[in-house]
Amino acid sequence: MSVLECNNVSIRYKTGDLKQIGLKDYVLKKITRNYHVTEFWADRDVSFSLEKGDMLGIVGTNGAGKSTLLKAVTGIMVPTKGTVRVEGNIAALLELGSGFDPELTVRENTYLRGALLGYTREFMDQKYDEIIGFAELEKFQDYMFKQLSSGMKSRLAFSIACLVEPDILILDEVLSVGDEAFKEKSSRRIKGILANGVTGILVSHSVQQVRDLCNKCLWLDHGNQIAFGPANTVCNAYSAFLFLDKAHKRLPKNEDELNDISNRFRLVRYIGGRERSHPEEFDYTVDFEESEPARIQRIWRIVDRLSPAERQDMLDEIDGVNKLPAEIDENDPANIKASVAIEVAQEEAEESSAPKKNENQPEG
């Protein structure tokens, strides 16, 4: 039985005339039949379901509809179409810094926010010191909220919000709060909460974070659901989409395409890693100054030229290597196959490039 289920959730925003105009314009435009409301679908037919203990990552470029989808899940917005079914209570940490009152003190704001999140007064009395301690704001309790630095504000917000023991936890870009030390602390806190079998949703611009924390991933693009599946597969395809140039990037249309792109990206990552760790294996000089996107694009073109069978062979080897990590023989068949691949690539390519392979260097 799933804990959270979204069925064909579509959310329509209304923009256009209604927002800017005042009463006079409204009446005039209504009379002259000039009143236009433009619609804008922030999400279209998004469907997914989560079992208990699942951790879903939502990825997508800016304006993909991630935050809007979360608003539907938390009940802040009602989907224009489709249904959201939730079992258990939700705690949502959305854009933490907002919603505080700048004129009230830290203490007052802490209680107010606690109340907004549905805690009881007893709970807050009990936890208040812990919250302030975690946020490291002991000296600032009676400061006005607006006097805090922005880092302090988000630290406070995080500390209040992460006290929750919900059934479903929603995190929207909250793990990038504060300085490095606090980030470390907060991410440990979140992992602790998740370890208790909470179902979670994480929106993040860091694909790495999604890979680390999630087992499922949803990819949205301009409101459309591109893929929903295992976190690594979707993250691979999404990273490929982010890094590649216009000519090569594409959105997977079905599961086969998704897997194909994901696999190619694994190869690219693997070869890229190998280039750096063992540059001597390559018959061209590896440029260590090369930017990440440039490298990925270059290697992608190599991988592109391999036949599907060759790619499959290489993947099998990576998997094989992954199963048996540690020492790998320079002369094992994997290397030979890889060099075949490289030769094929070099024949066709004018740009200097080629890889070899082995070692434990998976998609992560």
Left, alpha or beta for 35 (phi > 0: left; psi -120 to 50: alpha)? beta
Q: At closest approach, how far in Å is the CB of 28 from other proteins? A: 13
What are the tokens at 361? Answer: 């260097």
Q: At closest approach, how far in Å is the CB of 143 from other proteins? A: 14
Q: Pick the closer one to other proteins by CB: 90 or 302.
A: 90
- For 77, list phi and psi in degrees, rounded to 5: -115, 150
Q: At closest approach, how far in Å is the CB of 71 from other proteins? A: 8
Looking at the DSSP bridge assignments, the partners of residue 16 are 37
- CA 338 vs CA 5, 241, 267: distances in Å: 44, 25, 11
C-beta separation of 236 from 303 below 8 A? no
C-beta separation of 90 from 168 below 8 A? yes
Q: Pick the closer one to other proteins by CB: 115 or 294.
A: 115
Query: Which candidate, 63, 364, 73, places its Cα nearest to that of 232?
Result: 364
The secondary structure of residue 325, as a DSSP letter, is -
Q: Pick the closer one to other proteins by CB: 171 or 271.
A: 171
Query: Which candidate, 294, 238, 316, 262, places its Cα nearest to that of 64?
Result: 238
**Interacting residues with other proteins (CB under 8 A):** 13-14, 18-19, 22-24, 26, 71, 74-78, 90, 92, 94-95, 98-99, 101, 103-104, 108, 111-112, 115-121, 124
Q: At closest approach, how far in Å is the CB of 131 from other proteins? A: 15
Q: Pick the closer one to other proteins by CB: 126 or 312.
A: 126
C-beta separation of 302 from 354 below 8 A? yes
Q: Pick the closer one to other proteins by CB: 71 or 153.
A: 71
Q: At closest approach, how far in Å is the CB of 197 from other proteins? A: 23
C-beta separation of 273 from 361 below 8 A? yes
C-alpha to C-alpha distance for 13 and 9, rounded to whole angstroms = 13
Q: Pick the closer one to other proteins by CB: 124 or 268.
A: 124
Q: At closest approach, how far in Å is the CB of 25 from other proteins? A: 10
Q: At closest approach, how far in Å is the CB of 105 from other proteins? A: 9
Q: Pick the closer one to other proteins by CB: 36 or 323.
A: 36
